[in-house]
Structure 1
Amino acid sequence: MITSNEETIAAISTPVGEGGISIIRISGTSAIAVAQKLYRGKDLGKVATNTINYGHVVDPESGEQIDEVMVSVMRAPKTYTCEDVVEINCHGGLLVTNQILELVLSNGARLAEPGEFTKRAFLNGRIDLSQSEAVMDLISAKTNDSRRVALNQLGGSLSRLIKQLRQEILNVLAKVEVNIDYPEYDDAEVMTTKLMKEHATSLRQKLVDLLSTATQGKILREGLATAIIGRPNVGKSSLLNALLHEDKAIVTNVAGTTRDVIEEYVNVAGVPLKLIDTAGIRQTDDTVEKIGVERSRQALKSADLVLLLIDGSTSLTAEDRRLIDLTANHPRIVLLNKVDLPAKTTAEQLSSLLGDDRVIPLSVTQNEGITTLAETIKHRFFKEGLNNSQQTVMVTNARQTALLKQAKKALDDVLTGIANGMPVDLVQIDLKRCWDLLGEITGDSYQDELLDQLFSQFCLGK
């Protein structure tokens, strides 16, 4: 349930644990008054806005000094939440941070819900809903390019485009209404079926163009689920370690060492990969290994990309051929590993067998071919490159994508209605639905349940 903005809220806004400093954030009409009750230093009610002030936090009941602090005072409306905001900078550590938070909560504030500071920024009109989502994207960004896209969206790039599209629709709807209500006005532009079709077709293409960024936006936001597949002992765990630049997975020459699925994020040429190192897929009587093999098969089904490893130092086995068939209908890159050893399977032989699939020779142990692999992944999913990502308007999450698809469907219905000879005043109902759906992306129209669900995914203190 959306809470009242009359309440003053507080939370720890830095990661919990030991560190140089911790920050307790307070926001609301009583933020300054609450902080003043436990602060000993200048009168916070009289200090200038956007200043930081030295002093001490003291328990107002016992008089015990808790910590030496710096207190920032930021007055409404030029703050993150558009409310009075106070941030208490104390020494990092679980004990002192929690003691100060408890004092804040016992002196007039309540504990903020996850994402409630950002929710208030939205409700108070400082940012719209797509910008709110960009805040979390920025916090969870895994590469520089995902950071740039999130920062671009936080700056309002998507919002401006959506508002522009909605204004175009509004102009069309206004012309329809004028011609319906005042048909005698000859100087009013006549909204003929042909003209409405032109507008709907143009708008639809813009939505198609925007939806075309959804896959790349999802990758930058969530990472590319990448399954490393191969029979046992072909170098899967070694490849994972090479991409991570650390020994995360156990590597031995004993087949079946990897018994479970290991997941790690890694930045590969600017593309965030959610790497999944799987157990070698083979027939086995080992009960535990069987479970690992089944989990590998499940990981394969959900993967956005498959890295299929073949051991070039051995002849192709029946298991290799089964894996080639098993991954045939998945987006995959075939890697011929161990090319530093005497070859029994060549890249040419493998390419001939696979048809169109490109084979990348590599030696994980010698760090050969890793750069080629990285560039291949980048080119496959970002053909136009990532260098302009900060200027690109991207759709970055499932909610935005779903609403754009519904808006496109509404425009399809407009064009279908026109093709079937429906009157313009009936066709405009679908155009109005498109306008409403686009408004849900920016939060111009929303339901309370949507906000509760969306902001509950934020971290506490943001």
Structure 2
Amino acid sequence: MAVHPATDTIASIATAPGVAGIGIIRISGSESLSLLKTCFVPRVPRDQFVSHKLYYGTIVNQQGQALDEALAVYMQAPHTYTREDVVELHCHGSYVVLQSVLQTLLVQGCRPAEPGEFTKRAFLAGRIDLTRAEAVIDLLQAQTEGAARLAVNQLQGQLYTRLEHIRQQLIGFLALLEVAIDFPDDDVEIFDSTEVSFQLREQVISSLEELLAWSEQGKVVREGIKVVLAGLPNAGKSSLLNALLQEERALVAPVPGTTRDTIEERIVVRGIPIHLVDTAGIRKYEDPIEALGVERARQKLEVADLVLFVVDGSAGMTQRDRDLYQSVCHKSHLVVINKSDLMTTRQLEDLFSSFPEALCIPISAKHGHGIDRLLEALFQTIVGGRGPRADQMTCAPNTRHRAVLLHTLEACQRFEQALIAGAPVDLVAVEIQSALDCLGDIIGLTTPDEVLDTVFSRFCIGK
């Protein structure tokens, strides 16, 4: 992000490109009201604009030509998103109209806002902490209802509250240590290592471990997982993809090798986004195009979070099935026995015995039998039986938070070990300060500028 004076007045289109009934232009900074008076002519003439009240009128350019009929609202600092004076112009949603209005504002002295700059100003003004700022982008990018709920929880300060509680506990420990350092010869024991160690374990370390566990679950809810369908040609992978999507997405034919490239689609299973990847059947090909498809299938398998290993149950377990299974069984996987409607109970049992350590799900992709059971097994495998429901999690730290929380936990564990070993209090204090610095990075108290720039660069322009 480029360096600009914090006193600049900024403007941008705040709504997504495209045809819409309404398009909003947002202005923030000390010149907001002046710009409003210059470019907006209210239907009922007036000298003053009352804060947080909509006015109907016409937007004009510097030559006085009408650009659009619009509603305008002036919001006086500090009761605004950025804690600066803010103006919003609610225009018709034509991109051409919005651009012409924006250009008029830029000519008159403000500059284009950068990605996330409105939210960055809110953070720098102390209106929100960094976790709440990041929740804004999570909410904008939420792909599922569960991800949106997690973002709203964080936006309402639930993660900040947990982190601030931990921080205050550590500050209390540090205060006791500093008193003990200042009065080393005092007859009264100021710092009870046993009690502090217990409180550290119960109130700090356990909370950090819980947040880290929620981080893993939250990542699944936000981003989902990649599930790759693998198996021999004609095992029914494409039919399974169609059954999971409930539409004819992939071509299906009795001739082996119909799928020559990967096909990627997305479904949501109980709030979890799942990115399905159908691959070419893996075997030796002489056709160079088919060989490329197989190579791409192997590449997708390497980065898969979960593999659905599809077996043609009507053909039984072949040596080629066994060889292929050995190449994927090291990954998290489910075995899907397709065409089970063509098998006897004894044949199913024999096939199950070929995968003694795997969960086998019999299905008929052609008729849709067993698909619901497969989806439930898929969900339980993803969440490990714990069920990462967004409404059961107070918050879910993101990837950046997780990395810093790990450093915080490590510092607290070193603090605990130093207490147990009876280390000098000044050395113990170093570990507490290290943990506090880490927490400061998460909520924005001590976050380096380059990290802030990275965080806000993820935003769209206008937010």
Aligned residue in 1 for 2:294 = 293
Aligned residue in 2 for 1:219 = 220
Aligned residue in 1 for 2:335 = 334
Aligned residue in 1 for 2:322 = 321
Q: Give unpaired runs (5+ residues) of structure 1.
A: none
Q: CA deviation at 1:361?
A: 1.7
Aligned residue in 1 for 2:16 = 15
Q: What is the one-letter code of the residue matched to 2:56?
A: Y
Local SS of the residue matching 1:76: coil
Aligned residue in 2 for 1:385 = 387
Q: What is the one-letter code of the residue matched to 1:199?
A: Q
**So what's the TM-score if we normalise by structure 1?**
0.92
Matched residues in 2 for 1:180 and 1:217: separation?
Answer: 41
Matched residues in 2 for 1:44 and 1:76: separation?
Answer: 21
Q: CA deviation at 1:337?
A: 1.9
Q: What is the one-letter code of the residue matched to 2:290?
A: E
Seen in structure 2, the aligned counterparts of structure 1 residues 182 and 420 have a Cα distance that, compared at 3 Å, is closer
Aligned residue in 2 for 1:50 = 52
Q: CA deviation at 1:154?
A: 0.9
* Per-residue Cα deviation, 1:159-204 (whole angstroms, up to 9, x for no partner): 00000000000001101111221346556x6213323432333322
Q: Superposed, which structure 2 residues align to 1:126-141 within 5 Å? A: 126-141=127-142
Aligned residue in 2 for 1:168 = 169
Seen in structure 2, the aligned counterparts of structure 1 residues 95 and 82 have a Cα distance that, compared at 3 Å, is same
Q: Superposed, which structure 2 residues align to 1:428-447 within 5 Å? A: 428-447=429-448
Kept in 2: contact 1:55–1:70 (CA 8 A): yes
Q: What is the root-mean-square deviation in Å for CA atoms of aligned residues?
A: 2.3
Matched residues in 2 for 1:71 and 1:247: separation?
Answer: 49
Aligned residue in 1 for 2:209 = 208
Deviates more, 1:81-90 or 1:426-435: 81-90
Kept in 1: contact 2:181–2:425 (CA 8 A): no
Matched residues in 2 for 1:44 and 1:262: separation?
Answer: 61
Kept in 1: contact 2:238–2:252 (CA 8 A): yes
Matched residues in 2 for 1:289 and 1:376: separation?
Answer: 32
Matched residues in 1 for 2:134 and 2:245: separation?
Answer: 28
Q: CA deviation at 1:417?
A: 2.8
Aligned residue in 2 for 1:154 = 155
Deviates more, 1:398-407 or 1:277-286: 277-286
Local SS of the residue matching 2:179: helix
Kept in 1: contact 2:177–2:426 (CA 8 A): yes
Seen in structure 2, the aligned counterparts of structure 1 residues 318 and 50 have a Cα distance that, compared at 3 Å, is farther
Q: Superposed, which structure 2 residues align to 1:244-283 within 5 Å? A: 244-283=245-284
Aligned residue in 2 for 1:59 = 61
Matched residues in 2 for 1:345 and 1:52: separation?
Answer: 74
Kept in 1: contact 2:153–2:395 (CA 8 A): no
Seen in structure 2, the aligned counterparts of structure 1 residues 372 and 165 have a Cα distance that, compared at 3 Å, is same
Q: Give unpaired runs (5+ residues) of structure 2.
A: none
Q: CA deviation at 1:386?
A: 4.7
Seen in structure 2, the aligned counterparts of structure 1 residues 460 and 292 have a Cα distance that, compared at 3 Å, is farther
Kept in 1: contact 2:363–2:370 (CA 8 A): yes
Q: What is the one-letter code of the residue matched to 1:439?
A: G
Seen in structure 2, the aligned counterparts of structure 1 residues 154 and 45 have a Cα distance that, compared at 3 Å, is farther
Give the number of aligned pairs.
459
Kept in 2: contact 1:347–1:359 (CA 8 A): no
Aligned residue in 1 for 2:26 = 25
* Per-residue Cα deviation, 1:316-373 (whole angstroms, up to 9, x for no partner): 3333222321221111122122334456994423321111311112223323222222
Kept in 1: contact 2:211–2:397 (CA 8 A): no
Kept in 1: contact 2:180–2:425 (CA 8 A): no
Matched residues in 2 for 1:311 and 1:140: separation?
Answer: 39
Kept in 2: contact 1:11–1:460 (CA 8 A): yes
Seen in structure 2, the aligned counterparts of structure 1 residues 193 and 386 have a Cα distance that, compared at 3 Å, is closer
The answer as to 2:204 corresponding to 1:195 is: no
Q: CA deviation at 1:221?
A: 1.5
Q: CA deviation at 1:207?
A: 1.2
Kept in 1: contact 2:233–2:282 (CA 8 A): yes
Aligned residue in 1 for 2:113 = 112
The answer as to 2:244 corresponding to 1:235 is: no
Kept in 2: contact 1:145–1:386 (CA 8 A): no
Q: What is the one-letter code of the residue matched to 2:54?
A: I
Q: CA deviation at 1:441?
A: 1.0
State percent identity of aligned pairs: 41
Matched residues in 2 for 1:82 and 1:253: separation?
Answer: 65
Deviates more, 1:250-259 or 1:165-174: 250-259
Deviates more, 1:39-48 or 1:3-12: 39-48
